[in-house]
């Protein structure tokens, strides 16, 4: 279940910020945010864009689903829930701003959302539609999701002073692929070898494989025997037939002993 949701995040990252050399021109990126796409980032941002920098922060913020059973459609082995996720794309326009820390009485700079105005509202609207159009055209995103069932556009959040910020968050309710391992395999196979996103999928699959190997070994120990190679007629697959050992010669008879065969009709001498 969680790996299927992870596959969605990886697909979103790969679509909105495709792997490219650092010198890639701005016109090569699918949205105004260029490569400033942050996955599950809830800390101070650093888009390195200067003034009025468009960027996107996305995350899976909610998961819900009904459990499958024999009565309500358990048709896939190992699939326990009919899952729907809330994929939030938060379009923002930020600038480097000066802040004051009252605890240390020091000033510092950080990237923060600008105050909303007409120009920024237009940028946010275009950025959100660019992002969704990119995902709808992306083959990998389509492979790791089954359908999108609902949209919820959240209002611009307000600052502590009541001012509206240049932030527009759209929530898309998406149903992921039921098989998380298959979804991650699709991510791995669709992306170039040098892609950092592909490396994340490979690592997750390796960790899942290690867990399955551990569980298989534990089950073998509990059953009282260790797994053996596949065998036919007591011969392990790929093994050569055993070479018979030569028979040992009979032991010599000592010279002071002679074999005697007694006739039951004769008296004992």
Domain of residue 109, CATH code = 3.30.70.1700
140 assigned to some structural domain: yes
175-219 pLDDT tens trace: 998 788 999 999 999 999 999 999 999 999 999 999 989 988 888
235 assigned to some structural domain: no
100 assigned to some structural domain: yes
67-108 pLDDT tens trace: 766 555 555 545 566 778 999 999 999 888 777 777 887 787
**Rounded distance, CA 125 to CA 120, Å?**
9
237 assigned to some structural domain: no
- Integer distance in angstroms from the first to the last C-alpha of the chain? 93
215 assigned to some structural domain: no
203 assigned to some structural domain: no
167 assigned to some structural domain: yes
Report how far apart, in Å, the C-alpha atoms of 202 and of each of 167, 189, 194, 198, 207 are: 34, 10, 12, 6, 9
Is-contact 65 146, C-beta < 8 A?
no
Write the secondary structure of the chain as one string of H (helix), E (strand) and C (coil): CHHHHHHHHHHHHHHHCCCCCCCCCHHHCCCCCCCCEEECCCCCECCCCCCCEEEEEEEEEEEEEEECCCCCCCCCCCCCEEEEEEEEEEEEEEEEEEEEECCCCEEEEEEEECECCHHHHHHHHHHHHHHHHHHHHCHHHHHHEEEEEEEEEECCCECCCCCEECEEEEEEEEEECCCHHHHHHHHHHHCCCCCHHHHHHHHHHHHHHHHHHHHHHHHHHHHCCCCCCCEECCEECCCCCCCCCCCCCCCCCCCCCCCCCCCCCCCCC
| Structural domain that includes position 19 | 2-178
Domain count, the chain: 1
Say what the pTM is: 0.73
Confidence of residue 265 (pLDDT cuts 50, 70, 90): low
Tokens matching residue 85: 């996720």
Q: What is the mean pLDDT of the chain?
A: 80
189 assigned to some structural domain: no
pLDDT for residue 126 is more than 90: yes
User: Within 10 A of 13 (CB to CB), how many other CB atoms are there?
Assistant: 21
């Amino acid at each position: 279940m969680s790996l299927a949701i992870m596959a969605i995040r990886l697909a979103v990252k790969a679509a909105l910020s495709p792997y490219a050399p650092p010198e890639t021109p701005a016109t090569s990126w699918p949205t105004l945010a260029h490569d400033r796409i942050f996955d599950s980032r809830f800390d101070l941002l650093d888009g390195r864009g200067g003034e009025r920098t468009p960027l996107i922060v996305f995350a899976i913020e909610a998961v819900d689903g009904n459990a499958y059973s024999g009565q309500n459609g358990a048709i896939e082995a190992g699939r326990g829930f009919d899952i729907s996720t809330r994929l939030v794309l938060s379009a923002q326009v930020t600038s480097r701003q000066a802040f004051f820390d009252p605890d240390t009485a020091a000033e510092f700079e950080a990237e923060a959302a600008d105050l909303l105005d007409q120009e920024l509202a237009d940028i946010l609207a275009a950025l959100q539609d660019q992002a969704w159009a990119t995902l709808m055209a992306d083959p990998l995103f389509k492979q790791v999701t089954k359908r999108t069932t609902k949209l919820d556009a959240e209002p611009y959040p307000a600052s502590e002073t009541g001012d509206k910020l240049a932030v527009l968050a759209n929530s898309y309710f998406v149903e992921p692929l039921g098989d998380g391992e298959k979804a991650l395999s699709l991510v791995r196979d669709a992306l170039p070898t040098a892609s950092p996103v592909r490396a994340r999928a490979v690592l997750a699959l390796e960790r899942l494989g290690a867990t399955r190997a551990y569980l298989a070994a534990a089950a073998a120990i509990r059953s009282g025997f260790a797994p053996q190679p596949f065998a036919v007629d007591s011969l392990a697959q790929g093994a050569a037939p055993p070479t018979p050992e030569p028979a040992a010669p009979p032991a010599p008879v000592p010279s002071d002993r002679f074999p005697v065969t007694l006739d039951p009709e004769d008296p004992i001498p």
